[in-house]
Amino acid sequence: MEFGYKNIHLMKDKVVGTGAYGTVFHARIDNLVCAAKSLHPVLFRDNDPSTAGLHKKFLSECQIMSRLRHPNIVQYLGRTTDPQTQLPILLMELMDCNLTKFLEGEEPFPYHLQVNFSHDVAKAIAFIHSNQIMHRDVNSNNVLLLGRVQAKLGDFGMSSLLQDRKSRLTQCPGALAYMAPEAQSYMYSEMLDIFSMGVLLVHMMTRMYPNPTDAHRDVGFEKGRRLLVAVPELDRRREHISMINSSHPLLPIANNCLEDKAAQRPSANHLCQQIETLKTAPTYQESLKPRAQERRGEEKSSQRSEQEIEALRVKVENQQLEHQKLAEQLELKDRQLQEAQYRFTQQQAVQQERKRPIPRPIPQSETAVKKLQKELSASQEANSRLEETVAQLESRALHLRDQDGATEIGPDWK
């Protein structure tokens, strides 16, 4: 265990996500709810020597994440051991969702938010490159979000140290759709992450998962051998790129990142500068305006709701006073009726003794009481409807005060 936490509670029933090699679930360290990542125990049941590499990579991920402290990198919280499986568990910051899930949803994704998320990821890549680390698996699954506020880079299971910029011992194991052309060779550098960033930009602008065509094109035979020619990356991804508005400010940046030759791609620092420049442009500022207007509209709507509530409260109070008066009148008439009926009963008893008929008295009093009863019932129903209306408007006003403009509307750059 690291960081000296007093209590660690693993909540394996609350799964965040699962993959081929491991699972991420909720955990609680002291009073903090976080995410816990562990390898699948089934991979280690047969003492397969190949699984030793997984264990080593997992520990390497923990070691690399422990070195990284940056606002746009998922926060490492420590490492512990599963008491049941004795396998290591990585403890980290709990995020809301990954970018893939967000892009597959229906929530609006305005231009300024595209720029913000792009800038966040670019800053994370620049930071790890400055620490001689390349991620090797930058994709939408590994970009995690805190609401609509911040994007962070996570999952460093495939990351590697930049000890030798020309030689690599293994092929890149990242997502195929995000993979640079040099990834299949043993000669690649941190520019691999820049290419993946370009794919990520296209993914964000189209909201469609990348689906490039084949990397090689068959051009026939020569001397009995089939000839294959490499297809430029921009051509492989032309179908999705053509869906993007040609004036979208992020498009030329994405195209630059997707250059076939790594040397022609921008560095992570230059990429940050390019995206940061977009934040000062009128297009970015215009995209922010609808949210400000929406907030002002919500404030006005909230003020109107409060005025309506106040008016209805006054109306309800007046109705309640009227209701009270009717109730008092009904009670008075009821007493008068009871007294009259009592007198009638007494008179009837006396007349029976005298053998003389007596007419039924006070029919007008009974009619008045019934009328008042109907008026009271109608008043109660009206009062109940008004109270329901007040409750609904109070709930609406509270909702408007609590919400901070979740829905954003911006220019459609698709």
Instruction: Decide: helix, strand or coil at residue 219.
Output: strand
- For 30, other C-beta atoms within 10 Å of its C-beta total 11
Rounded CA-CA distance 92/275 in Å is 28
State which amino acid sits at residue 20. Answer: A
As to burial, measured by CB atoms within 10 angstroms (0-12 exposed, 13-18 middle, 19+ buried), residue 203 is: buried
Instruction: Decide: helix, strand or coil at residue 385.
Output: helix
Please tell me whether 37 is known to bind a ligand.
yes
224: left (phi over 0), alpha (psi -120 to 50) or beta: left
> With contact defined as beta carbons under 8 Å apart, do 138 and 125 qualify?
yes
Tokens of residue 263, six digits: 């040397």
List Cα–Cα distances, 372 to 108, 323, 326, 334, 369, in angstroms. 57, 11, 7, 10, 5
DSSP string, 250-298: THHHHHHHT-SSGGGSPPHHHHHHHHHHHTTSHHHHHHHHHHHHHHHHH
- Please list, residue by residue across 226-264, b when 16 or more beta carbons sit within 10 angstroms of its beta carbon and e when fewer do: eeeeebebeebbeebbeebeeebbbbebbbbbbbbebee
> With contact defined as beta carbons under 8 Å apart, do 194 and 268 qualify?
yes
Dihedral sign for Cα atoms in the order 313, 314, 319, 322: positive
Q: Which residues are annotated as a binding site?
A: 37
Q: Which residues are annotated as a binding site for ATP?
A: 37
